[in-house]
Amino acid sequence: MKRSIIAFAITLLTLHAGAQLTNPILPGFHPDPSICRVGNDYYMVNSSFQYFPGVPIFHSRDLKNWEQVGNVLTRESQLKLTDATSWQGIYAPTLRYLPPREGSQEPGRYYMITTNVGQAEHPESANFLVWATSPEGPWSEPVWLKQGGIDPSLLFDDNGRCYMVSNPNNTITLCQIDPATGKQLTPSRPIWQGTGGRYPEGPHIYKKDGYYYLLISEGGTELAHSLTMARSRSIYGPYEACPKNPILTHCRVGAQDSPIQGTGHGDLVQDTLGRWWMVFLAYRNYNGAYHQLGRETFIAPVEWSKDGWPVVNGGMPIEAQQRTPVHRRYDFDAPLGPEWVYIQNPDSAMYLVHNGQMRLHGSRFSLVENKRPTFVGLRQESATFVMDTKITAHDLADGDEAGLCVYQMHNGNVQCFLANYRDILRLRVRLNLKGLKPLLVDKNVPNTDDLWLRVESDSKNYSFYYSTDGEKYLWLESIDCSLLSTETVGGFTGAMLGIYCFQGNNKYQAGRPFADFDYVEYTEQ
């Protein structure tokens, strides 16, 4: 009991500093947040699109400091990503908790429900849910659902029923399901079409003060993105729209000069003090109207007006606060942490962590193709950073490559790599942009077994360097960051910083080439 009181007091003191929360709370490619509170603990998930493992899950005690405790979808049986692009894969998830029934000896359950877009295994609907008794997992095999649309969400009502909402035919639609089997128990019923904005999606239902509140996104996940709300005394409607919709958007005069744009797709949570908060996505522009980091997770306080409607951030635009720069070094002396991801389902034979190194075996598919290349990477979380690695390439034949990459999507990335050209080792920088593949740098490799490669960004340019001793770095090339922005290359994701290996000859030989990476170091400026 004493320990619980102390924990609550710490949470109380921390949350009193809520106005000082640093935005974004999850920087870099962390879109479509969904949050739930269990006791003094907060858990949050994000969409992951074509990356594996899928649906990162985070934990916090204060809504400010978040730690990734795992990924929800960690097995290919849960997540098939064959040929998935950055327009496809895992869309917006919802995370909810169902406490155990009174007197039950069984633990409560966490449920994550989402959509796997582009996979035809279940053509009737791509929506499914998984469950676990601990947020760290393991999570169950998928339970597939009948109702279509995207961005499904769950409400466990106090009457013991489980409701699902999604948006087939651009209409927010409701049904009752059995979460254990996925069986649909009632017909799908349309309940709201929003306020007229395009792409009404991302629905969540909350029960508060005798009302069912329906929160949705409208306008598409670009400049016109917004959050709107409606409510009803009955979960089936009719729903009354909030007279001050949209309750959050930066597509208005007061925020037109803000670097933060595209605010929308949110979820509500009530803290241990009874206060309300909203997590939502937005992106930060650099170099004008370009963003390369992807859609990030922000947070804002919510108050309820006298007539029972939410007011987000006092009706004022959202502002970003500068966070303490982070420094991370990965020496590959242990299995990769949950923050590392692969493009689509990885071939595990191509990756080996041993002797303090990450060994990558060359895939027959390049980063330009969309066929699970040998690549492992981290999210770029700051516009200004330096990333270093030390590489030793082995058995490179003509056309083979190994190096580092800034990857936005398969037709929008830039690579700095070692290559074999007519049995001569070369150091190259290549831009891949919408089918154009200019070779920006092509020079002889110094006479050394080891080479250090570096990419850094000042928010305007990605610059590439090399070193023969890990101390003195020589500049190779710089490219404008806007070339890898969402506005230029498209997609729903953000920039990834990774290492890769590719076998370029036409006669694939398993086991070669390969490259050993001693470490990866990421430092924000």
- For the chain, the C-alpha Rg in angstroms (whole number) is 24
Q: Report d(CA 128, CA 159) in Å as an integer.
A: 23
Q: Report d(CA 484, CA 434) in Å as an integer.
A: 10
Residue 225 has pLDDT above 90, yes or no: yes
Residue 101 has pLDDT above 60, yes or no: yes
Contacts with 226 (C-beta within 8 Å, 6 or more apart), sequence order: 197, 217, 218, 219, 245, 246, 248, 249, 251, 263, 264
Are the C-beta atoms of residues 203 and 172 closer than 8 Å to each other? yes
Higher pLDDT, 177 or 424: 177
How confident is the model at residue 506, as a pLDDT?
A: 67
Q: Report d(CA 49, CA 266) in Å as an integer.
A: 18
Q: What is the DSSP string of 82-113?
A: TT--TTSEE---EEEEEPPPTT--SPPEEEEE
HSE value, Cβ hemisphere, 13 Å, CA-based, for 182: 20
Average pLDDT over residues 115-143: 93
How confident is the model at residue 442, as a pLDDT?
A: 96
- Per-residue confidence band for 8, with pLDDT thresholds at 50, 70 and 90: very low
> Hey, what amino acid is at 124?
E
pLDDT digits (tens, 9 = 90+) for 384-417: 999 999 999 999 998 999 999 999 999 999 999 9
Cis peptide before 56 (omega within 30 of 0): no
User: Which residue spans within 193-295 are E strands per DSSP?
Assistant: 201-208, 211-218, 226-232, 240-241, 248-249, 260-270, 276-284
* Selection from 352, 357, 354 nearest residue 331 by Cα: 357
How confident is the model at residue 97, as a pLDDT?
A: 98
How confident is the model at residue 12, as a pLDDT?
A: 40
Are the C-beta atoms of residues 122 and 114 closer than 8 Å to each other? no
* Selection from 206, 204, 160 nearest residue 179 by Cα: 160
How confident is the model at residue 13, as a pLDDT?
A: 40
**Which residues are designated catalytic?**
32, 201
Give the burial class of 234: count Cβ atoms within 10 A of its Cβ; 0-12 exposed, 13-18 middle, 19 or more buried.
exposed
**Residue whose entry in the numeric block shows the structure tokens 């970003």:** 320
Are the C-beta atoms of residues 74 and 342 closer than 8 Å to each other? no
Residue 438 has pLDDT above 90, yes or no: yes
- Per-residue confidence band for 445, with pLDDT thresholds at 50, 70 and 90: confident
How confident is the model at residue 11, as a pLDDT?
A: 38
Percent of the chain topping pLDDT 90: 86
pLDDT digits (tens, 9 = 90+) for 29-61: 999 999 999 999 999 999 999 999 999 999 999
Q: Report d(CA 68, CA 79) in Å as an integer.
A: 19
Handedness of CA 224, 93, 236, 207 (dihedral sign): negative
Distances (CA, A) of 194 to 166, 251, 458: 13, 17, 41
Residue 16 has pLDDT above 90, yes or no: no
Residue 512 has pLDDT above 90, yes or no: no
Average pLDDT over residues 356-371: 95
Residue 7 has pLDDT above 80, yes or no: no
- Per-residue confidence band for 94, with pLDDT thresholds at 50, 70 and 90: very high
Q: Which residues pair with 212 in a beta bridge?
A: 207, 232
> Hey, what amino acid is at 455?
V
Q: Report d(CA 275, CA 303) in Å as an integer.
A: 8
How confident is the model at residue 4, as a pLDDT?
A: 39
Q: Which residues pair with 145 in a beta bridge?
A: none
Max avg pLDDT among 103-112, 232-241, 390-399: 232-241
The model's pTM is 0.95
Q: Which residues pair with 110 in a beta bridge?
A: 97, 132
Q: Report d(CA 42, CA 257) in Å as an integer.
A: 33
How confident is the model at residue 310, as a pLDDT?
A: 98
Percent of the chain topping pLDDT 70: 96
Q: Is 476 left (phi over 0), alpha (psi -120 to 50) or beta?
A: alpha
Helix (H) / strand (E) element for 8: namely helix 2-15
> Hey, what amino acid is at 241?
A
How confident is the model at residue 122, as a pLDDT?
A: 79
How confident is the model at residue 20, as a pLDDT?
A: 66
* Selection from 243, 244, 200, 188 nearest residue 225 by Cα: 200
Residue 318 has pLDDT above 50, yes or no: yes
Residue 64 has pLDDT above 80, yes or no: yes
Residue 6 has pLDDT above 70, yes or no: no
Mean pLDDT taken over the chain: 94
pLDDT digits (tens, 9 = 90+) for 447-498: 777 899 999 999 999 999 999 999 999 999 999 999 999 999 999 999 999 9
Contacts with 160 (C-beta within 8 Å, 6 or more apart), sequence order: none
Residue 5 has pLDDT above 50, yes or no: no
- Per-residue confidence band for 421, with pLDDT thresholds at 50, 70 and 90: confident
Q: Taking CA 89 as the corner, what is the angle to CA 401 and CA 432, rounded to the nearest 5 degrees? A: 30
- Per-residue confidence band for 322, with pLDDT thresholds at 50, 70 and 90: confident
pLDDT digits (tens, 9 = 90+) for 145-167: 999 999 999 999 988 899 999 99
Are the C-beta atoms of residues 259 and 320 closer than 8 Å to each other? yes
Average pLDDT over residues 71-95: 97
Q: Which of 41-50, 97-106, 159-168, 178-187 has the lowest mean pLDDT?
A: 97-106
Are the C-beta atoms of residues 381 and 293 closer than 8 Å to each other? yes
Average pLDDT over residues 355-367: 95
